[in-house]
Structure 1
Amino acid sequence: MAAAATSSSSNPFPFPTRRPPDDTLFYAIYPLPLPTGLPPAALLASLQSLHLALLSHLSPFLSSHLFHRDPFTLSLPADPSSPCTLCASPPIPHLHGALRFGDSLPDEWLAVALLFALTRAFPDTVARAWDSDGDFLLIEAAFALPRWLDPDTAPNRVFIARGDLHILPPSLFPSTPSLDAALRAVHDDSVPTRAPDAVQAAIQRRISGNLPEMAAANLHTARVVAPAPVAKVLAEEPCLVARAVEGFYDRDVDTMKHAARMSRFLKGPAGDGVEMVRTSVRMTRAMYAQLMQQSFQAPRGYPMPRREEGPDRWVEAELGMKIACGFEMMYQERRHEVEEGKGSTWEVYRKSLEAAGCFEGLLPGSKEYKRVMEDAMQYYKTSSLFSRTREILSAPVRRIDEILAMPYSAEDFQGIDLPPSDDDSWLRNGEDELNAELHERQKEIEEYEALKKHTKGQKQNVSSSSTSQPSDFNLGEITESMQDFVRKMSSFEGAEVPSNREEMESVDLDVNQFFKAMESVLGKVSQEKAGNDAETDRKSSSSDMDFDDSDYENDSAEDAGDKDMDDSFMESYSDALNQELSNTSIKETFSRAPHHTNDEGPSNAADSDGEMAPVDVDLNLVESFLNSYSSQQGLPGPASNLLGLMGVKVPPPDGKKL
């Protein structure tokens, strides 16, 4: 293991493939028609032009809106001519992004609304969005989706184009389409891919309204009293409050040590104290809830007012203290991770090495264990993942250092007319919002059940004019349904039983070819119908069960003799079997076909030669079904279930013997 770990000729520490995080939205935008066949430089220029146009369109909104964790961004793939690792897609020209929304689910739907708006403003673009649940847009419209659509059939079928949701039907692509073919179909106006109105309505309920109004409904403004460095950072980069709240909410014992010292945001450049100022902070509702719902004691030495000064001043100071501590913990922890070369990605990488057995048989802390760990760390630091992680971690730290390096003072925040704090009654009155959401879901379920019941009623009216009158019940339906059922093809998923017998596909059975096949197997040919069957066989069309006429023309006399012997044996065997069965009571358990009369009078063949009369299979089938149904006494059972699946409606038992 050690030798493998130190080998430089191969990759001893492969990076694992990670499952998409549960709190991240992924999205991609494709230009159509796809700019394929272009030189790499021309392709890159085309994507850059689209990138600039899309960001320019969104700039007025994105510059003023605050997301809970990550902002909505679009970027170019590292290599447009190579498969995309973020989208797990083939090398198709596109722009993509990932938005980590955390606990703020409205941010995910706000990003979806932006994608709908972009495709509406740029008709020659198609977008798709997914998260750890897959095509989550289908979950929102679950009660309106066609029955064939499920997670197995959904890949490469759900897109956003021209401001609408598009779903590729199986009639267009029976199997999972390729991404290239799916995009071309969505872009083709002659191909009907727009989702039904019910699906559109379900999605629009979540993203309807003006984008600024929709975004403002998820924001909360609050006055706080915080250290001057914190106020300066928030004034220059308001979006960094998301990192501060994240640092406060995800704190642990180690990061709490940084908050206890407050060496960056509670001390001036010369080590002296800083002044407290009043400022206004805008954050998402989820951020505000995360700060307010957690009890947190101020670090020793942090200036807090007395409670006697009033509850409003105490709330403002406490909220500012939590934000300041969040900034301190985030800043110090990220700087430490950058210096040490460690972070969340390193922890994931290290755990994957442990799972792969790289440290098997090594005691933690031993010399060999430390050597393998150092080799893994050196390999990690030379990877592109480490470079990207280091850049992400250090970006807020560098920006904070740049802001605090600028001259500022507490007087800069005095005399400013601050907006009042928003009403936070929503934080305690969420029951009404929850009930409204539950009512909306219940309404969807009721509409779905009503539609299903209406559709079922229409099918029943088509199959039977009245199910309540026993006189309308046709016994022949049982035999016909059972015959259609046994002729249906089955597979490893089971037998297919249609809900409406009249809607079943017709079963084509070539009787002549069927008897011909049976005769070839059993070797029993009726001498009376031999001539007629031969003539019919010559006229019948070929099928999978046809035999060539040359097979019979080339039969030798010896084969014909063997066939006659087989016919004679089968006749003798049949006579002996009938004679044996006629002496038992089994003949009394079946209903038999009645004897027919002819010009010579009633047939007494059964009495004269002892042969058993033929069994009426259809009659026995109906009697067995009705006896089983009657024995259920109106309760669920195998007979009623099977008849119901075949679409046969049987009147309830009336107490008489069936």
Structure 2
Amino acid sequence: MDIKYEDTVQCLFFKPSRENINWDELCQTLNATANSLSKEYIWHRDEFKICQPLITSEDSIPPHLVSTTCFGDNIEDEWFIAYLVFKLTEVHKGLIVQIEDNDGDFLLIEAADFLPTWANPETTRNRVFIYNNHVHIIPPTLVELKTPLEITDALKLIVDHPRETKASIQIENAIHEKIGAYPDRIKALCHTATVSLPVDIAALLKLRPALISHLVFIYNNHIHIIPPTLVELKTPLEITDALKLIVDHPRETKASTQIENAIHEKIGAYPDRIKALCHTATVSLPVDIAALLKLRPALISHLVNTYCNHDVIDAKKCKTLKLDNCIDVSVKFTKFQYAMLLHAKPPNSFGRKNTSSQNKKTEIGYKLSFGFQLIMNQSKKDKFSSPEYNKYLNNLKKNNYFNGNIEGSKVYNQLLEKAQEYFIETESPVISYIYENIAQHMASSEYKALKESLPQNNHLYLCEEESDNWLNVSPDELDDLLNQNYKKQVRSDDLIKPSIVTSGLSKFLSQRSDYEGIEVNEDGHKETAHIQFNSDQFFTSLQQMLDVVTLNDSDEDCSDFSETEPQDDYIAVQQQLEQELASKICGDNRTDLKDDACILSNLVNSMKEEGLSGPTSNIFKSIGIKKSEILDSDDDEIE
């Protein structure tokens, strides 16, 4: 897959079957399942939605459904989508899904420590799929790596060889570690706040709470990997061939347990994790915005993002913004959105006020109203007269989407209407789509009734405000977070002793490197290469050569020196210089340059004189020690 947008995850849904498949019905069924699993989740940018592609750019790709979701700055959405995909393949048997983002197979990145040696971004193309809640990887034993693997063949391999393609337990555990906390995690990701909003906005949000995502945005279970045993790594693998391989070889393509564990470590907490990702706050909002967020809570994302991404020109359009007819309501955010909105600078028109809790809910309400106003101001023009739509329509014509029908004919207009619906949902500027969404909700009778009842019954929509102390992270919590996510080799509370540094450097320098650099496995040694190299003999020969050169240079120097002064005087001067140099290098009376403490002291002094970066800090980085850790530990006495 070639993903043309940043921060975007794309899924292709295949259903290899000898029977005819009703793709419209399958699309509706999959969306219904996904909606039931994500009903409590607040999307940061786009909602996860599966649809049929209008046209298929590649003939080699078999019939399929597609979802393209922009997760923006919140990567939590990407892992929740991964959780949904695993669940969809578990509920709907025979469904095979290929999921990628801008980095490619991001599930394998999470399980990188457990991948087979042949797997890399170039060799896993069209070899990694999710099938029957497992990761499947088509190995080179089924298709050689040199052989281009079509996605049709890959799907057949997955189905025919499920055992060979199933990923290892380690891979699946690594993935499920990221997604295993869902759906319980959804609640933890949200935050409800009391906000002062105009009545019409409050009614709209009460009617459609999901609209909060759009308002925020505009403002600011097993894996299958196709191995080279099925298709050679050097062979470009088309997605048609890959799908066939998955279907035909589900056993061979199934990823290892380690790979699946690594992936499920990220997604295993869902759906329980959803609750932990949310925060509810009391916000003062105009009634119209409050009603809108109650009606469509997901719109909070677009309000937050719109505010946090506005520029000076946008600010001028809303400089006369006034909040009238405000009420206090509880609004659910994701913790990411709440933190982003809370720390965004208030508009100049808001003024500087105290930081009390009363002012906090007013300030948040002002920012949300600001984002709402930006959406309504910028989206009044015709969406089908934009440059984006004209480019989209021209591409359809170039790809013969209208099948030669005359413009204005009945069939042409039907195809055009379908294309326009697709454009509004997937291709149009985000702010235009949000405006249409909001306008539809605000025109509904449900919204109007909610807007009228909110001022008298707003207490029904108030719940106990949650503490936002989670915004404050202690140094120990930060260390634990870094260790958990990045697996630091040296903890910040560890004393970096000279022996640690010298042993680490010695171990690094003793490694053997190929053109891709030093690769360390679990035992800390590179796997045995095919080419045998006697390093001891090489270094002995090199040392002998250097000794000869040194002796020759020394003889020449001494010969030249003896013409003017006695050789004994030269040796005495040389010894004096060596002693002086040793004392300056080490900084004290110790002159043993092989001493660990002396070596560390010299390296620290070198690092201090580097500035931002230099050779010494790069050497330390290679053994897992950061510059800041060394300089901080230097404050203590080196033992």
Once residues 28 and 179 of structure 2 are traced to their aligned partners in structure 1, the CA distance between those partners, rounded to angstroms, is 25
CA contact (8 A) 1:119 1:163 kept: yes
Deviation sequence 1:66-91 (CA, Å, 0-9, x none): 1111111111222xxx52x5xx6734
Match of 2:165 in 1: 193
Match of 1:440 in 2: 484
Deviation sequence 1:142-180 (CA, Å, 0-9, x none): 222122111111110111112221111112111231100
Amino acid at match of 1:101: F
- Structure 2 counterpart SS, 1:260: coil
Q: CA deviation at 1:329?
A: 0.7
- Structure 2 counterpart SS, 1:429: coil
Q: CA deviation at 1:111?
A: 0.5
Deviation sequence 1:568-605 (CA, Å, 0-9, x none): xxxxxxxxxxxxxxxxxxxxxxxxxxxxxxxxxxxxxx
**RMSD value, Cα:** 4.0
* Structure 2 alignment gaps of length 5 or more: 184-270, 396-416, 491-518, 548-639
Instruction: State how 1:584-603 maps to structure 2 within 5 Å.
Output: none
Matched, 1:498 2:530: yes
Amino acid at match of 2:298: C
Match of 2:46 in 1: 70
CA contact (8 A) 2:51 2:66 kept: yes
Aligned with 2:313 (options 254, 259, 262): 254
Q: CA deviation at 1:141?
A: 1.5
Matched, 1:60 2:36: yes
Matched, 1:418 2:462: yes
CA contact (8 A) 1:29 1:128 kept: yes
- Structure 2 counterpart SS, 1:166: strand
Once residues 442 and 246 of structure 1 are traced to their aligned partners in structure 2, the CA distance between those partners, rounded to angstroms, is 28
Match of 2:116 in 1: 146
Indicate how the Cα distance of structure 1 residues 433 and 29 shifts in structure 2: closer, same or farther if over 3 A, else same: farther
CA contact (8 A) 2:279 2:338 kept: yes
Aligned with 1:389 (options 428, 431, 434): 428
Aligned with 2:11 (options 27, 33, 36): 27
CA contact (8 A) 2:136 2:162 kept: no
Q: CA deviation at 1:321?
A: 0.9
Once residues 34 and 71 of structure 1 are traced to their aligned partners in structure 2, the CA distance between those partners, rounded to angstroms, is 32
Matched, 1:289 2:330: no
Amino acid at match of 2:473: N
Once residues 432 and 220 of structure 1 are traced to their aligned partners in structure 2, the CA distance between those partners, rounded to angstroms, is 23
* Structure 1 alignment gaps of length 5 or more: 1-16, 267-273, 353-380, 460-496, 503-621, 634-658
CA contact (8 A) 1:72 1:97 kept: yes
Match of 2:377 in 1: 332
Aligned with 2:330 (options 274, 280, 291): 280
CA contact (8 A) 1:335 1:397 kept: no
Once residues 402 and 260 of structure 1 are traced to their aligned partners in structure 2, the CA distance between those partners, rounded to angstroms, is 27
- Structure 2 counterpart SS, 1:203: helix
Indicate how the Cα distance of structure 1 residues 623 and 330 shifts in structure 2: closer, same or farther if over 3 A, else same: closer
- Structure 2 counterpart SS, 1:109: helix
Once residues 394 and 320 of structure 1 are traced to their aligned partners in structure 2, the CA distance between those partners, rounded to angstroms, is 19
- Structure 1 counterpart SS, 2:50: coil
Match of 2:405 in 1: none
CA contact (8 A) 2:52 2:66 kept: yes
Amino acid at match of 1:421: E
Once residues 89 and 287 of structure 1 are traced to their aligned partners in structure 2, the CA distance between those partners, rounded to angstroms, is 41
CA contact (8 A) 1:30 1:127 kept: yes
Q: CA deviation at 1:393?
A: 5.3
Matched, 1:453 2:453: no
Match of 1:406 in 2: 448
Once residues 74 and 459 of structure 2 are traced to their aligned partners in structure 1, the CA distance between those partners, rounded to angstroms, is 34
- Structure 1 counterpart SS, 2:165: coil
Q: CA deviation at 1:107?
A: 0.9
Aligned with 2:295 (options 211, 229, 236): 236
- Structure 1 counterpart SS, 2:85: helix
Q: What is the aligned residue count? A: 402
Once residues 293 and 538 of structure 2 are traced to their aligned partners in structure 1, the CA distance between those partners, rounded to angstroms, is 82
Q: CA deviation at 1:399?
A: 2.4
Once residues 33 and 101 of structure 2 are traced to their aligned partners in structure 1, the CA distance between those partners, rounded to angstroms, is 25
Q: Normalised by the size of structure 1, how large is the TM-score?
A: 0.54
CA contact (8 A) 1:232 1:403 kept: no
The sequence identity of aligned pairs, in percent, is 24
Indicate how the Cα distance of structure 1 residues 348 and 422 shifts in structure 2: closer, same or farther if over 3 A, else same: farther
Once residues 136 and 488 of structure 2 are traced to their aligned partners in structure 1, the CA distance between those partners, rounded to angstroms, is 21
CA contact (8 A) 1:101 1:107 kept: yes
CA contact (8 A) 2:3 2:101 kept: no
Q: CA deviation at 1:432?
A: 5.1
Structure index of larger Rg = 1
Once residues 248 and 430 of structure 1 are traced to their aligned partners in structure 2, the CA distance between those partners, rounded to angstroms, is 29
Q: Which has the higher contact order (CA 8 A, sep 6+)?
A: 2
Q: CA deviation at 1:346?
A: 7.1
Q: Normalised by the size of structure 2, how large is the TM-score?
A: 0.56
Indicate how the Cα distance of structure 1 residues 117 and 624 shifts in structure 2: closer, same or farther if over 3 A, else same: closer
Q: CA deviation at 1:427?
A: 2.1
Matched, 1:429 2:473: yes
Instruction: State how 1:643-654 maps to structure 2 within 5 Å.
Output: none
Once residues 451 and 63 of structure 1 are traced to their aligned partners in structure 2, the CA distance between those partners, rounded to angstroms, is 42
Deviation sequence 1:265-284 (CA, Å, 0-9, x none): x5xxxxxxx41100011111
Match of 1:98 in 2: 68
- Structure 2 counterpart SS, 1:414: helix
